[in-house]
Chains A and B, each alone.
Chain A
Amino acid sequence: MLFAAIFFFFIMRIGWIQLVKGDELQEKAYENRHRRVKVEAKRGTIYDRNMTELAISISADYVYAIPPEIRRSGKAREIAEKVADVLELPVDKVYSKITKKGSWFEYIKRKVDFEKSAKIKELDLPGISVAEESQRFYPHDTLAAHVLGFAGIDNQGLEGLEVMYDETLKGRDGAIMLEFDGQGKPLPNAVHEYVPPEDGKSIVLTIDETIQYIAERELDALMNSPTNPESATIIIMEPQTGRIRALASRPTYNPNHFADYSPKVWRNIAVSNVYEPGSTFKVVTASSALEENVIGENEKFYDPGYIKVGPERIKCWRSYRPHGSQTFAEAVQNSCNPVFVTLGLRIEEKKKGLFYDYIKSFGFGKKTGIDLPGEAKGILIPREQLKDINVATISIGQGIAVTPIQLITAMAAVANGGTLMKPQLVEKIIDKEGNLVKEIKPEPIKQVISEETSKELRAILERVVSKGTGRNAYIEGYRVGGKTGTAQKPGKGGYQKGKYVASFLGLAPVDNPRLVGLVIVDEPKGYPYYGGTVAAPVFKKVMEDALQYLGVPPQYNEEEKKERDAERVEVPDLRGLTREKAENALRSLSLKAQLMGNGDYVIEQTPKASADVKKGSGVILYLGSGNNKNETVKVPDVTGKRITAAAKLLEAMGLKLVPQGSGRAVRQSPIPYEKVPVGSEVKVIFTEEEIIETLGP
């Protein structure tokens, strides 16, 4: 009877638990066993205009621990030893991580080779798991750092285009509901409710990796020269479209290790610094004056070395030896201050505020709207407060502060026939498969000056280079126009002695400009510190290589032609030589070295050895870090490629493919961009199917 009563009680009890409270308990058990795990969307790639990867996401394994599981297993020491052994880490470090109090998740190691992570998986230790994460990688290190910016550890854009296009690039994370056993291991068939991630879109830039490289190469050379300025910037733009082909500044940083640099270095001075442009701004004054017809035909100007504006005296830079009588074109050549002051005042005389309106029309005093964070709008005295003395100083680029991007955009308008274009960095947005999502067309803002004025001014600017202050920017075979600038840096209570900003603003070829460029050198050391001596040579080197790279046909004058036809030479085999030796060899044959890529060794050349070329022509040297002898190369990313394609790619890098499976590559060891000796084996796992990897929390 007693037992009957007890059993009756039990039946009531299990009925209560299983039938009445069943749903509630079942839900609790479900929540207890399931965890929602984020499936990271892959961040889109940033390409240059020729689809060279500038920023990519690579996937790498990481090993993590769930400390409570480790403690429950009671084998922390043993686990630490095994894990440390595989990952080649100190045991004590691993032990303290996996037993950390109050933590549910601890990274043990990130970016783990898949062979090692496979070993960890095989050990099947309680509380130790492997998962995959994607990481941002900038294969060209510092190249275009200020344009690209960088993304943080959680793949969020933090600087540059990475932050401006964050929404486009980041995609949408998916989610996965996983069922775990009591030791924190996923159960077999544990995947429930899989919401696939939506990968980010990729962006294609207007930046041309080669031109960008040329600009950065020259910046590095400049920084390492005795000039050794505080900072320097180069911007190269296609004037017809406003598309930026190169934008670089020094000092710079490596976005792969952005945290190692001061945030000051992250700042993109090409768009966020304002400075007094000095004489380069005379391009604006000259175009306004031409457009407003305030210069008489064959008018002669006289420069006594200064000009009086009200009670003020504005000196010409060469007041010690005044320019005297000169035409307008000669005044531009000479960069003669009194003449430009006169012109500025004449425009203003015609109509109050007219010169100001031109300055505004050229885009000064407001943001250009370029796709970069932190753009400054410059400093411009309000229209109604503008006095004659202000007009006078602004005419020669003083008393006004501009950004480099504003100046080059204005120059583009002068070069393209008078239309101010919005500077453009992103050409299109594409999806993972390469389909076009959005095309970004060039955006004309306003016709600022007439075609006629543009043409006239270009001719005058050419004379600045052929005969005037910009002679150092002269490129044999190309018609170059431009304007130099040397401005004293303003400081507390006036200008600072010995602190200058040297610049050169130019275009080429003059008859049909393909590129406009701006070189700004901030605080060059020593003498001379003029734009014509410091910035113009840099402009010349960049433009010369860029124009040749773009295949712009040279236009030699008679004299040049004769010289060129004189001799032809045979191109030597330069492969395997150090960069220096190859450059010397070419110089001795009167050939020009054009360097491509990073590294100290020549891995390939164009034209090939024994080609018959004219003296003075360029030979492109593709540099790499390997001379194929106990040198290292960066392992390329072959994921997604089929075996033949992967083999080809690896072979080209001097690496051996060790394939496993068939289909498309899903994992590789070593991981992409790791440096390995030439001739190393790269193990690649290929698979025919899409695999959902086991993911951690």
Chain B
Amino acid sequence: MASKKSSTDFIFFFLVIVLLSIGVIMVFSSSAYTAARDLGDPYYYVRRQLIWATLGLIGMFIASKVDLQWLKSMSNIILLGSLILLVLVLIIGSTRGGASRWIGIGSLSFQPSEVIKLAMVIYMAKSLSVNSYKLKSFTKGLFPYLALIGLVCLLILAQPDLGTAVAVAGTSYLLLAVAGARGSHLFVLALSGVGAVIAAILLEPYRLRRFTAFLDPYADPIGAGFQTIQSLLALGSGGLFGVGLARGVQKCYYIPERHTDFIYAVLGEELGFIGAAFVLLVFLFFVWRGFKIAVSTHDSFMSLLAAGITIMITLQAVINIGVVTGSMPVTGITLPFISYGGSSLVFTLVGVGLVLNVSRYSS
């Protein structure tokens, strides 16, 4: 067990605060027009975002102080509890927009899929730190993990929520790679993962439409290609310097999910290439700093935990920006720290808190 040597990583914390601040501003800018028209209150979303961010920061503080050895010992229970929630949401979850993703009542509801992401990272970090030598074997080492990942992904897909499933699978896969799985295994896995995604796409006609729309959004400009086109139009309108904060117009009912999944498009329109590239750089620093924390500790659980959470957050950012820039088919996933989102923001910040916790054990 590593001894407490250094203080909390301030740079990592600072980068998160920067992204969080950009997020609050952009949530307000992107949602004010539609919130005023639909709900009669332009501050509706930004007020809630501030409340969630505050809750998240409290969660982050607690997570940064929690005893990581205790967390390690609790990882099985956490995973089990999360899996139960994931099953429960399919039975009693509330349905919004055709998907049952929420549990709870009204504004107190949250997405169990957000919990499972974190729980999976914690569990895998513990399990891999204990069993890393077994990983070279496919049947004894790798296969149980694949079974677990498969089960979790299937449960998430049942909601259905392809974006989160891809994020969980991707995070787990990268965590296995970091933990030292064989390259040949990983290659085969990557191939079968692609196969699984293709299968998932072919099974649901709307996913196929979205997928082909990504390849040629103008084939169906008012149908499946609509989101991608409007997103690209927003980004393109931004140019180098952007049209100015709050001055974008594509957010006025043109871009769907303007303050959640497509917030980066609004940011690109209003703050231009400068602003959009800045956010990318901050995320890049975030990854660098997260991995630095991971490699600075000698405790393999802590190291894998910090790496896993960093991967988890960054992968979501990659998928989100990939979708917004039309580089990937549309999958509903938020941009960490920046998009409006209740439970996802809270759990992301809790994750950050754990990484900060780990940073105190760097050598």
Contacts and interface: CB of A to CB of B under 8 A. Distances in A.
Contact of A18 (B222, B239, B314): B239
Interface in A6-60: 6-7, 9-11, 13-15, 17-19, 21-26, 28-30, 32-33
Contacts of B148: none
B252 A181 contact: yes
A22 B276 CA distance: 14
B284 A4 contact: yes
A179 interface: yes
A320 interface: no
A4 B314 CA distance: 11
A90 interface: no
A18 B238 contact: yes
Contacts of B174: 2
A4 B33 CA distance: 36
Nearest to A28: B233
23 contacts: A3-B284, A4-B287, A7-B287, A10-B318, A13-B325, A14-B276, A14-B325, A17-B232, A17-B236, A17-B325, A18-B239, A18-B268, A18-B273, A22-B238, A22-B240, A24-B236, A25-B237, A26-B236, A26-B237, A181-B33, A181-B253, A182-B230, A183-B37
A10 B325 contact: yes
A127 to B, nearest CB: 11
B43 interface: no
Contacts of B314: 3
Nearest to B272: A18
Contacts of B233: 25-26, 28-29, 32
A23 B281 CA distance: 24
Nearest to A183: B253
Q: Count chain A CB atoms within 10 A of each CB in B236, B249, B273 and give the residue with the most.
A: B236
B283 interface: yes
Contacts, number: 102
B171 to A, nearest CB: 12
Q: Count chain A CB atoms within 10 A of each CB in B174, B230, B253, B281 and give the residue with the most.
A: B253
Contact of A29 (B37, B250, B281, B322): B250
Task: Tell me what chain A mostly uses at the interface: helix, strand, loop, or mixed.
Answer: helix
Given A18-B239, A179-B249, 10 more contacts: A3-B284, A3-B314, A4-B288, A7-B287, A14-B273, A14-B325, A18-B238, A29-B254, A124-B37, A183-B253
B325 A3 contact: no
A22 B274 CA distance: 13
A22 B280 contact: no
Contact of A17 (B235, B249, B280): B235
A32 B222 CA distance: 12
A14 B322 CA distance: 10
A609 interface: no
A68 B233 CA distance: 21
A187 B254 CA distance: 12
A182 B252 contact: yes
A181 B32 CA distance: 13
A22 B239 contact: yes
B355 interface: no
Interface in A173-197: 179, 181-183, 185, 187
A241 B262 CA distance: 76
A692 to B, nearest CB: 20
B318 A29 contact: no
Nearest to A20: B236
Interface of B: 33, 37, 174, 222, 230, 232-240, 249-250, 252-254, 268, 272-273, 276-277, 280-281, 283-284, 287-288, 314, 318, 321-322, 325-327
Task: Tell me what chain B mostly uses at the interface: helix, strand, loop, or mixed.
Answer: helix
Which 5 pairs of residues, A with B, have the shortest CB-CB distance?
A: A25-B236, A182-B253, A181-B252, A29-B233, A182-B254
A57 B128 CA distance: 84
Interface of A: 2-4, 6-7, 9-11, 13-15, 17-19, 21-26, 28-30, 32-33, 68, 124, 179, 181-183, 185, 187
A18 B253 contact: no
A10 B324 CA distance: 11
A19 B273 contact: yes
A617 B20 CA distance: 95
Contacts of A33: 249, 254
Nearest to B248: A29
Q: Count chain A CB atoms within 10 A of each CB in B33, B235, B272 and give the residue with the most.
A: B235
B236 A22 contact: yes
Contacts of A179: 249
Contacts of B239: 18-19, 22-23, 26
A58 to B, nearest CB: 33
Q: Count chain B CB atoms within 10 A of each CB in A3, A19, A24, A33 and give the residue with the most.
A: A3
Q: Count chain B CB atoms within 10 A of each CB in A10, A21, A124 and give the residue with the most.
A: A10
Contacts of B222: 68
Nearest to B283: A7
A13 B327 contact: yes
Contacts of B327: 9-10, 13
Given A14-B276, A22-B238, A7 B284 contact: yes
B268 A14 contact: yes
A618 B327 CA distance: 91
A182 B230 CA distance: 10
A29 B277 contact: no
B252 A187 contact: yes
B252 to A, nearest CB: 4
Given A19-B273, A22-B239, A7 B280 contact: yes
Contacts of B249: 29, 33, 179, 181, 187
Q: Count chain A CB atoms within 10 A of each CB in B233, B268, B280, B287 and give the residue with the most.
A: B233
A11 B277 CA distance: 6
Nearest to A69: B253
B318 A3 contact: yes
Contacts of A25: 232-233, 235-237
A181 B250 CA distance: 8
B235 A14 contact: yes
Contacts of A68: 222
A6 B318 contact: yes
Nearest to A188: B33
A18 B235 contact: yes
Nearest to A16: B325
A179 B33 CA distance: 14
Contacts of A3: 284, 287, 314, 318
Nearest to A34: B249
Nearest to B221: A32
Given A18-B272, A181-B252, A29 B325 contact: no
B237 A29 contact: yes
A124 B40 CA distance: 12
A30 B269 CA distance: 13
A181 B288 CA distance: 41
A123 to B, nearest CB: 12
A9 B284 CA distance: 12
Nearest to A26: B237
A32 B229 CA distance: 11
A18 B265 CA distance: 11
Contact of A14 (B230, B252, B253, B277): B277
Contacts of B37: 124, 183, 185
Q: Count chain B CB atoms within 10 A of each CB in A4, A7, A9, A11 and give the residue with the most.
A: A7
Contacts of B325: 10, 13-14, 17
Contacts of A182: 230, 252-254
Q: Count chain A CB atoms within 10 A of each CB in B252, B287, B314 and give the residue with the most.
A: B252
A251 B9 CA distance: 98
Contacts of A10: 280, 318, 321-322, 325, 327
A22 to B, nearest CB: 5
Given A19-B240, A26-B237, A187-B249, A14 B232 contact: no
